């Protein structure tokens, strides 16, 4: 029996989503026969551990968490966004010498940075939308050059993302994005089908992609659409054999280029000229209804099995075994 510490919450805009993921992960792991303990991080950054005194500081709460960390075999950080998905937990586990589910510090940090991810994708031969990087201090100098998508460089769940169709909408969109990050990405609008691909790295290093999922949303797939139930998903997506193979190959290439581990979701637009990568999520939603578990369920890897596979593949960051064969 593996002792797993599941961590949820976090100090960012994805706090509530993370709580749902952590609860679903813990339930699935218990159903799979694992010994599970849980910790929630408050919006203020306090680790809510048993017997902690009221008003405890962030640093003291982290100190009180260390005995839990010392008694666990694997940490499953179901914390999305900043101070979680960005490699923060991987760094903590690396220092403690504890196995962790998911990507290491480097992959998490780069994957969270949309501009850096675009640079990696370009070096790997994967197309992305043309765009420019803007400092929050310079948003008054940005000129409108046609429809664009404005987004914070480091934020998840589409927080702060705006589709700008007219010049008088641009400054407001830039200010919204600046509320989440001091660096802003302004990208051209890509016309194409929205296709997500989930890639897993199993124990032993084998990587493979689940059947792709298509998002059907009227307009921008923004935060509200993601969580209000109006978006529709088709999985497996209706693709030709060539389209599916191209998307899966691009997803695994991006997964490897970033050095991801565990599972990652790579989002694409499928255009007439082929796939255009949008972004990478190295700690995606983990409820049974989330996109990644849906994709693996289409490959007959259901929620309990998926969570168990991720725990089985967990490694101490920085001590990863070489990649194994590519499947599919």
Say what the pLDDT of residue 135 is.
95
CB 201 within 8 A of CB 260: yes
Whole-number pLDDT of residue 48? 92
pLDDT of amino acid 226: 52
Q: Which of 212, 150, 204 is nearest to 181 (CA)?
A: 150
Residue 65 pLDDT class (50, 70, 90 cuts): very high
Residue from 49, 75, 43 nearest 62 by CA: 49
Task: Name which of 187, 221, 214 is nearest 275 in CA terms.
Answer: 214
Token readout for 21 is 């993921």
CA pair distance 211, 132, nearest whole angstrom = 32
pLDDT for 217: 77
Residue 42, pLDDT > 70, answer yes
Q: Pick 231 or 289 by higher pLDDT.
A: 289
| Cα–Cα distances in angstroms (integers) from residue 70 to residues 4, 46, 64, 104, in the given order | 11, 19, 11, 19
Separation in Å, CA 155 to CA 81, 85, 180, 182, 206: 6, 10, 7, 11, 29
Provide mean pLDDT across the span 79-106.
Answer: 92
What CATH number was assigned to the domain covering residues 110-127+191-313? 3.30.470.20
Q: For the segment 242-256, what is each residue's pLDDT rounded down to a tens digit?
A: 999 999 999 999 999
How far apart, in whole angstroms, are the C-alpha atoms of residue 53 and residue 55?
6
Give the pair of three-digit tokens for residue 154.
């480091």
- Higher-pLDDT residue of 230 and 47 is 47
Which is more confident, 322 or 95? 95
Per-residue pLDDT, 325? 56
Q: What angle, rounded to 10 degrees, do the helices at 88-96 and 105-112 form?
A: 170
Q: Which CATH number fits domain 131-188: 1.10.630.10, 3.30.1490.20, 3.40.50.300, 3.40.50.10860?
A: 3.30.1490.20
* Percentage, residues of the chain above pLDDT 90: 81
Q: Which of 116-120, 157-161, 259-263, 289-293 comes out lowest in average pLDDT?
A: 157-161
Distance CA 272, CA 231 (A): 23
Inter-residue contact 25 to 9 (CB < 8 Å): no
Question: Model confidence over 269-323: pLDDT tens digits?
Answer: 999 999 999 999 999 999 999 999 999 999 999 999 999 999 999 999 876 655 6
Q: Measured between alpha carbons, how far is 256 from 232 in angstroms, rounded to an integer?
A: 29
Pairing mode, strands 47-48 and 99-100: unpaired
Task: Tell me the percentage of the chain whose pLDDT exceeds 70.
Answer: 92
**225 has a pLDDT exceeding 60:** no
Comparison of pLDDT for 180 and 35, the residue scoring more: 35
Q: What is the mean pLDDT of the chain?
A: 91
pLDDT, one tens digit per residue, over 109-126 is 999 999 999 999 999 999
Burial of 323 (0-12, 13-18, 19+ CB in 10 A): middle
**What architecture (CATH level 2) is domain 3-101?**
3-Layer(aba) Sandwich (3.40)
- Residue 220 above 60 pLDDT? no
pLDDT attached to residue 256: 97
137 contact partners, CB below 8 Å, separation of at least 6 = 182
Beta strand 232-234 with 213-216 is: antiparallel
pLDDT of residue 320: 61
83 confidence band (pLDDT: 50, 70, 90): confident
Average the pLDDT over 42-69 and give the result.
90
Residue 294 to residue 287: CA distance in whole angstroms: 9
Alpha-carbon gap, residue 87 to 109, rounded angstroms: 5
The average pLDDT across 40-58 equals 89
Tokens 């490959």 correspond to 299
Which is it for strands 74-77 and 99-100: parallel, antiparallel or unpaired?
parallel
Cis amide linkage into residue 20, ω under 30° from 0: no
Asked if residue 223 has pLDDT above 70, the reply is no
Cβ-based neighbours of 95, under 8 Å, separated by 6 or more: none
pLDDT of 44 higher than 90: yes
Domain ranges of the chain: 3-101, 110-127+191-313, 131-188
pLDDT at 35: 97
| Strand pairing class (47-48; 232-234) | unpaired
């Amino acid at each position: 029996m593996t002792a797993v510490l599941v961590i949820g919450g976090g100090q960012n805009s994805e706090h509530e989503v993370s709580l749902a993921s952590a609860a679903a992960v813990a339930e699935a792991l218990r159903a799979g026969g694992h010994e599970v303990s849980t910790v929630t991080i408050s919006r203020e950054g306090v680790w809510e551990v048993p017997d902690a005194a009221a008003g405890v500081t962030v640093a003291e709460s982290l100190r009180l968490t260390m005995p839990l960390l010392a008694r666990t075999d694997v940490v499953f950080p179901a914390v999305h966004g900043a101070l979680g998905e960005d490699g923060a937990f991987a760094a903590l586990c690396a220092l403690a010498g504890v196995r962790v589910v998911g990507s290491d510090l480097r992959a998490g940090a780069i994957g969270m940075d949309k501009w850096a991810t675009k640079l990696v994708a370009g070096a790997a031969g994967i197309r992305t939308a043309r765009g420019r990087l803007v400092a929050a201090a310079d948003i008054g100098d940005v000129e409108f050059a046609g429809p664009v998508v404005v987004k914070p460089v480091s934020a998840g769940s589409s927080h702060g993302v705006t589709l700008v169709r007219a010049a008088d909408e641009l400054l407001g969109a830039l200010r919204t994005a600046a509320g989440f990050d001091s660096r802003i990405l302004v990208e051209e609008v890509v016309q194409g089908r929205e296709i997500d691909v989930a890639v897993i790295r199993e124990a032993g290093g084998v990587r493979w992609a689940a059947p792709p999922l298509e998002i059907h949303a009227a307009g921008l797939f923004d935060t509200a659409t993601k969580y209000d139930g109006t978006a529709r998903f088709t999985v497996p997506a209706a693709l030709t054999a060539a389209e599916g193979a191209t998307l899966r190959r691009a997803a695994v290439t991006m997964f490897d280029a970033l050095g991801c581990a565990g599972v990652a979701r790579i989002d694409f637009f499928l255009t007439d000229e082929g796939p255009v990568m949008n972004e990478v999520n190295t700690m995606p939603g983990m409820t049974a209804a989330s996109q990644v578990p849906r994709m693996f369920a289409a490959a007959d890897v259901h929620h309990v099995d998926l969570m168990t596979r991720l725990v089985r593949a967990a490694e101490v960051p920085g001590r990863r075994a070489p990649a194994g064969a590519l499947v599919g």
